[in-house]
Structure 1
Amino acid sequence: MFDKIVEIVSAFGYIGVFLLMLLENIFPPIPSELIMPLAGFVAARGDLDFILVILAGTAGSVAGALPWYYAGAKLGKDRMKRLAERWGHWLTLSPEDVDKASDWFDRHGKAAVFFGRLIPAVRTLISVPAGIAGMSMTLFLIYSTLGSLIWTALLALAGFLLESQYQRVAQYLDPVSTGVVVLMLAYYLYRLIRQRTARHS
């Protein structure tokens, strides 16, 4: 799995990194913790430029946050929760998730967008309450970009530094990367089934 993902990133380059990070924000089960370190690893091998990998990952992350921001701004909290209740199971999004993100935003204000982008459990949905609260697009983009830049840079750096130890760690990372994908898929299916069951109970 490790080698296959590296091959995919190498083949599609910066566009692939951008699209994977965009999907990671729209579709939460896709983990950036797997995408960016492997992109950094590919950069360390010389196939991609390290700085451009970070910029592509950051751009994809911010672009993926915009649909959630607009959904919050256009729908409002109540309609967003109703939408989550009806269709959110496909994204493993529940009304409670909307409430949690809104509470985080209420506690920390606009800075929640910056800090939220650094926290895996919050980073995707923090855009929703920002849109609901009417946070200006300029501030949203600034905070989202800064937070996403730090997050993607740290993950890519981890993969970049890993390159020199490839032979030593590949035997460990291959089953780990496979396990991460399997676990994320299993978690997605679990939440999907649980939410669909709750809707029909």
Structure 2
Amino acid sequence: METLGAPGAGLAIALENLFPPLPSEVILPLAGFTASQGDMRLFDVVVWTTLGSVIGALALYAVGALLGRNRVVAIASKLPLINVADIERTEAWFARHGKKTVFFGRMIPIFRSLISIPAGVERMPISIFTLLTTAGSLIWNTAFVMAGYLLGEQWELVERYMGIVSKAVLGIVILAVVIFVVVRVSDRRKGRHHA
């Protein structure tokens, strides 16, 4: 961070979008702390990290756009327990709630990165996607950079508490997947018994 400055923080956040195991909950407060030491300007940190978020999100949007609906459906049809109807329901849901999902998704651990792919698959207008991603990322990044800036030497407290939130979100996702699998297997068994 001290070597590359604010552009380095932006690069780290761009990579965090592509490789979620690099947590923004560590990078952003550390960047804020570094700014509090006078090694970077706070404004530069917020601008560069937000730019990094947008660049990373656009890369994943491009992956979704390149995959396209037909490939996603073809892949899904080969997966066990997935029906094409699941894809159609997801598409309908995204058509109704896509803008809110992209905006608020930028502020939810794990989903921050993943939400860009369905936006690309659904070909959300790139200008709207970029605007919503910038706005959501700006809020998230500013909050965490400011937390690190204000906490100073204790900036790691942010990561400790957000680690709990991230684990809770991951737990909810795992629970939802388990419920989905149980319901789908149960439906298939019932279908077999009726046949």
- Structure 1 length-normalised TM: 0.67
Q: Does 1:114 align with 2:103?
A: yes
Alignment correspondent of 1:75: 67
Residues 64 and 121, structure 2, Cα contact 8 Å, conserved in 1:
yes
Instruction: Identify which of 104, 116, 137 aligns with 1:127.
Output: 116
Letter in 2 for 1:139: I
Residue-by-residue CA offset, 1:83-133 (whole Å, 9 max, x unaligned): 79xxxxxxxxxx9xxx7x868735622221111101112110111111111
Residues 77 and 132, structure 1, Cα contact 8 Å, conserved in 2:
yes
Q: Does 1:59 align with 2:48?
A: no
- Structure 2 length-normalised TM: 0.68
Instruction: Identify which of 17, 20, 36 aligns with 2:12.
Output: 20
Assess, with a 3 A threshold, how the Cα gap between structure 1 residues 47 and 125 changes in structure 2: closer, same or farther: same
Letter in 2 for 1:49: R
Give percent identity, aligned residues only. Answer: 46
Residues 105 and 126, structure 1, Cα contact 8 Å, conserved in 2:
no
Q: How many correspondences in the alignment? A: 159
Residues 22 and 60, structure 1, Cα contact 8 Å, conserved in 2:
yes
Letter in 1 for 2:98: G
Letter in 1 for 2:32: G
Alignment correspondent of 2:151: 162
Residue-by-residue CA offset, 1:16-46 (whole Å, 9 max, x unaligned): 1011001000111110000000000000111
Trace 1:1-201 onto structure 2 (pairs within 5 A): 9-77=1-69, 79-80=71-72, 105-106=94-95, 108-163=97-152, 166=153, 169=154
